[in-house]
């Protein structure tokens, strides 16, 4: 189940420490290398400006009261796939972001895996 993700550098942008720790554990179990987690938008944007090697990202839609979309735009500009994480599912995203992989909180390990594989292989 983890072959497609083994060795991949995955950025986590998540402001809730327990959720970030859960995602770290899930991704490490899948063989991923964790970048972050970043708990605010500005730090995530600085990291991207530094051209850190990334294969993908998991983005909480609401990070410390700000929407994560500037990070998503920066990732798109670099051709780095990502998955949104939100309590509202895809329906909670603005129309222009729908159709991208989304995991709904609370999520399962399988949901994280499937969404990341989809993002990284399409």
Number of domains in the chain: 1
What CATH number is given to the structural domain containing 93? 3.40.50.2300
Question: Domain containing 59: what range?
Answer: 9-121
Predicted TM-score of the model (pTM): 0.95
Residue-wise pLDDT tens digits, 53-101? 999 999 999 999 999 999 999 999 999 999 999 998 888 899 999 999 9
Whether 83 is in a domain gets the answer: yes
Whether 1 is in a domain gets the answer: no
Q: Which helix (H) or strand (E) holds 8?
A: none
Whether 85 is in a domain gets the answer: yes
Contacts of 91 (CB under 8 A, 6+ apart): none
- CA 38 – CA 59 distance, rounded (Å): 10
- CA 85 – CA 100 distance, rounded (Å): 11
Whether 105 is in a domain gets the answer: yes
How many CB atoms lie under 10 A from the CB of residue 112? Answer: 22
- CA 39 – CA 48 distance, rounded (Å): 14
Whether 2 is in a domain gets the answer: no
Kindly tell me if the per-residue pLDDT of 1 is higher than 80.
no
Whether 4 is in a domain gets the answer: no
């Amino acid at each position: 189940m983890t072959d497609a993700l083994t060795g991949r550098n995955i950025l986590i942008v998540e402001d809730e420490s327990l959720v970030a720790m859960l995602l770290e554990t899930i991704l490490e179990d899948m063989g991923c290398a964790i970048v972050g987690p970043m708990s605010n938008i500005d730090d995530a944007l600085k990291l991207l400006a530094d051209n850190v090697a990334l294969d993908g990202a998991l983005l909480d839609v609401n990070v410390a009261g700000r929407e994560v979309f500037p990070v998503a735009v920066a990732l798109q500009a670099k051709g780095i796939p990502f998955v949104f994480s939100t309590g509202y599912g895809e329906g909670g995203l603005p129309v222009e972001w729908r159709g991208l992989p989304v995991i709904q909180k609370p999520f399962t390990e399988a949901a994280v895996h499937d969404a990341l594989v989809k993002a990284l292989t399409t």
